[in-house]
Structure 1
């Protein structure tokens, strides 16, 4: 029993970084993903095609590979700049946590842009036309009418992506980030008690997912008023 309590306490220390990575990636992914979705719907030349390629690449390659590329690639890139451009960048400027946040954010952008694209396309075009007739600017039309509804339509997919991000943070230990999985890995290897330790880790991920489900359930109730009837 004392070992389990010790494990719970130690694994709990990794929870903040798990939450930080997930929230940062979710916010950046949702903001930039929405912008990407709007660019694709507007069919802006070149940018639309680049976004399609970006989404395809990110969605088709393993997240752990993307993390390794950033972890080893960013310092090498800064050293290259220092050598070729005579700059003075610090190759150690990016901490493992920062690199993890960047990697997960880039990953989230690709998925959330697709979710928001579907949400934006679900908003009836007649509402945009009606907004024009009453003199609303394009900015106000999107801010007050289109985006709230698009967010509401995309909310189930956003929830799933958030949960996937939390589970995905278990890969952050590969780039030396102290989170739930890395702490569990150390404890399990020290005591050779893999099943109880990883069971505790699984319960922590499960509890985080339950909290998210409750939060998104309340959000869905609040966004229902923005959604138009389908009939």
Structure 2
């Protein structure tokens, strides 16, 4: 068996057209998930009564089950829930008109929130308690201490973990093809189906994933150096 290099280049040019969709399915869930994760992390760190059990259950369930299952549950379950609520309220809603990307983004955002909450929580807990006590001693309240002292350091130290989550969700976005959302892997399947040259198409898709990962890791390294410059005695 020989690899068709010319077709691989042709596949590469066709597959990369789906990169914007893949980036959308990666960046939007991580952006939304960051704020979900931040709230959940704070609830768990400060053990907020009435919400702690919900936060713990949310993280445990979402991290303890496959992301593909989250996508399927949202994709098949949300329309039924929306129809039931609409029927109860006496309104007409055509759930079949809701874009598939809405369900995928919802599922991925909830999943990202669970994983990012652990990253943020571990970052917060890594900050020495002495810094918190020092902040209180100069008159800062809990909110000021969190925003000015704890979160900047916690997030800076968590940049490598954020990068890992990004790379993980970049690859996870491929499962969106199962619900007919065309991203990189889906595009590779479609391109290969014309002549059954799946190996060449998957190699081309893999190269694209790899290049994006290298770019993100490079940017992450630069940001980490700037963000943690205080640990080396200032910005250089």
How far apart, CA to CA, are the structure 2 residues paired with 1:193 and 1:181? 14
2:7 and 2:200 in contact (8 A); partners too: no
Q: Of 36, 41, 49, which aligns to 2:40?
A: 36
Runs of 4+ deviating beyond 4 Å: 226-229
How far apart, CA to CA, are the structure 2 residues paired with 1:223 and 1:161? 18
How far apart, CA to CA, are the structure 2 residues paired with 1:98 and 1:226? 41
Q: Of 94, 111, 131, which aligns to 2:135?
A: 131
Q: 1:10 to 1:63 in 2, by over 3 A?
A: same
Q: 1:150 to 1:45 in 2, by over 3 A?
A: same
What displacement does 1:218 show?
1.0
1:120 and 1:150 in contact (8 A); partners too: yes
Residue 4 (1) aligns with residue 19 (2):
no
Q: Secondary structure at the match of 1:89?
A: coil
The normalised TM-score by structure 1 is 0.93
CA deviations over 1:59-102 (Å, ceiling 9, x no partner): 12111111111111111112112222212333135311222111
The aligned residue for residue 188 of structure 2 is: 184
- Indicate the RMSD between aligned Cα atoms, in angstroms: 1.7
Unaligned regions of 5+ residues in structure 1, if any?
none
How far apart, CA to CA, are the structure 2 residues paired with 1:228 and 1:134? 25
The normalised TM-score by structure 2 is 0.91
Unaligned regions of 5+ residues in structure 2, if any?
none
What displacement does 1:184 show?
0.5
How far apart, CA to CA, are the structure 2 residues paired with 1:200 and 1:179? 13
Q: Secondary structure at the match of 2:193?
A: helix
Q: Of 207, 226, 232, which aligns to 1:203?
A: 207
How far apart, CA to CA, are the structure 2 residues paired with 1:53 and 1:139? 25
How far apart, CA to CA, are the structure 2 residues paired with 1:47 and 1:226? 35
What displacement does 1:43 show?
0.7
Residue 114 (1) aligns with residue 106 (2):
no
